[in-house]
Chain A
Amino acid sequence: MERTPPPLFRTGPSALTRLVIFVALSIALLVADARFNYLSLIRQVSSVAVYPLQQLATTPKQVWTYFSDLFISQTSLHKNNLYLSAQNLILANAAQEAEALRIENVHLRALVDAREKSPIPSVVAEILYAARDPFSRKVMIDKGLQQDIVAGRPVVDHLGVIGQISQTYPWLSEVTLITDKGHLVPVLNVRTGARAVIAGTGDDSRLELRFVPLASDFQKGDRLVTSGIDGIYPQGIPVAEVMNVERNSAALFATVDCKPLAGVNTDIQVLVLGPLPSVPERPTTPTPSNPKKKKGGA
């Protein structure tokens, strides 16, 4: 015979039963997210519920910035102004040169019948907060699906690449920084033109080049820019500087440590680059010749 407690003491299933139920639910979610990526839509829908809270949490910081902007000193404003006008002169000069070059380039490209390079549209966004997940390097920015941000777009600042949009919500998006472990950017060595792939390490100040042959020409101080062959990052944006090259003949590849050039951890405002001009379609029939990645030629 089953013994049931009187209704007064009935408290539902035991704690252990509940634990098992919720642990099973969590594991199901984890597997669905990590292995199958089913949950993008659920994330977007439920993010609407979290959005007001995120806004509330960032309010103190915004109030603080507002007031510290309000009481900024006369001297620092003056100093800033001097610096900016000097900078303006330099930039104006550079802009004139660039304009002349652009016109020249248009003519030359028309001559060789190259495809017109269209300027890339961009959206200015502000970093709201850094995600507090010790396992990854991600930040949240204040532009999302409403501003036509799409996952995969590159994010840059005035110094170089900082990352890539990895998840979009209605009014926010998540940027995976280039320092995130396993985040890859195809790069080009400015000095030699050698191509390589740079990967984040999970460390804020270190990136590493992957699969660099021992004999390849990388030196301390080399600047690496995006190569643009992925069709995601536009060509020629600075990414990193080589800090240290280690060639151990016992290893297959050289260890090349780099330092990100952009203010990956210090930025407030960033630029989300818009859709790139589409790259030509991949040939459908696989060409058997030349399976190795070409090195050297720019």
Chain B
Amino acid sequence: MISSQTMAPQELLLPAKPGFILLTLFIALTLNLMPWPNWINWLLPDFVALLVLYWSIEAPRKMSFILAWCLGLMMDIANGSLFGQHALAYVILVYAGITVHRRIQNFQIPAQLLHIAPLLLLTNCVVLLVRALADASYPGYSYFLSTLVGVALWPVIGFILKIPQRPRSDPSRA
């Protein structure tokens, strides 16, 4: 049973424009490639992963697998990581997002985070497994820490990305 308190009040939003989705993903990719100071680097979440998950929950029809896959390949080229490593992670995220999107939209933010965190950590584990099979490298616990920082950023990202979708106050009703 879900108590009425955890259910989010349904907010009526305009549909997200495909151009806006592309723009935000582009900005996320740029943020990922930016040179950050060393101390912040290991705390910084993967912005593209966060946004791919966000859009596959908010606009499952518009977030395509092939887009996520291409973004992953671009990350792999820019980072010199194993070719297909990020691509695999993002494709799994899209699938997870599309699968749970109806359920997740009904929850308020704290309950949403409990859905998001396992999905992102699961994706981390998949990548970890791939790297363990490929060259047996293990990055340490900080690898999961950056994901948790990403989870903490989720409400902020949601707030910012919903701004253009909120309907303008209708002057005729005022």
B80 and A167 within 8 A (CB): yes
A30 and B30 within 8 A (CB): no
A135 and B84 within 8 A (CB): no
A58 and B80 within 8 A (CB): no
Interface string of B47-79 (1 = CB under 8 A from A): 000000000000001000110010011100111
Q: Which of A11-19, A106-114, A231-239 contacts B (4 or more CB under 8 A)?
A: A11-19
A30 and B130 within 8 A (CB): yes
CA distance A61 to B83 in the complex (A): 27
In the bound complex, residues from chain A placing their C-beta under 8 Å from that of B32 are 57, 132
Query: Main secondary structure on chain B at its contact with chain A?
Result: helix
Determine whether B137 belongs to the interface, using a CB cutoff of 8 Å to chain A: yes
Beta-carbon nearest neighbor of B91 in chain A: A22
A15 interface neighbour in B38, B42, B98, B131, Cβ under 8 Å:
B98
Closest beta carbon of chain A to B91's beta carbon, Å = 4
CA distance A170 to B9 in the complex (A): 53
B134 interface neighbour in A30, A46, A167, Cβ under 8 Å:
A30
Q: Which of A32-40, A66-74, A152-160, A191-199 contacts B (4 or more CB under 8 A)?
A: A32-40
A131 and B29 within 8 A (CB): no
CA distance A182 to B83 in the complex (A): 19
A134 and B80 within 8 A (CB): no
User: Which residues between 20 and 45 of chain B lie within 8 Å of chain A, taking CB atoms?
Assistant: 29-35, 38, 41-42, 44
Determine whether A272 belongs to the interface, using a CB cutoff of 8 Å to chain B: no
Give 15 new A-B contacts, CB below 8 A, not counting A15-B99, A133-B81, A135-B131. A15-B95, A19-B65, A22-B69, A25-B84, A29-B83, A34-B82, A43-B77, A53-B33, A54-B33, A56-B30, A57-B35, A134-B140, A135-B137, A135-B138, A136-B80
List residues of B whose CB falls within 8 A of some A CB: 29-35, 38, 41-42, 44, 46, 61, 65-66, 69, 72-74, 77-85, 87-88, 91-92, 94-95, 98-99, 130-131, 134-135, 137-140, 142-143, 146
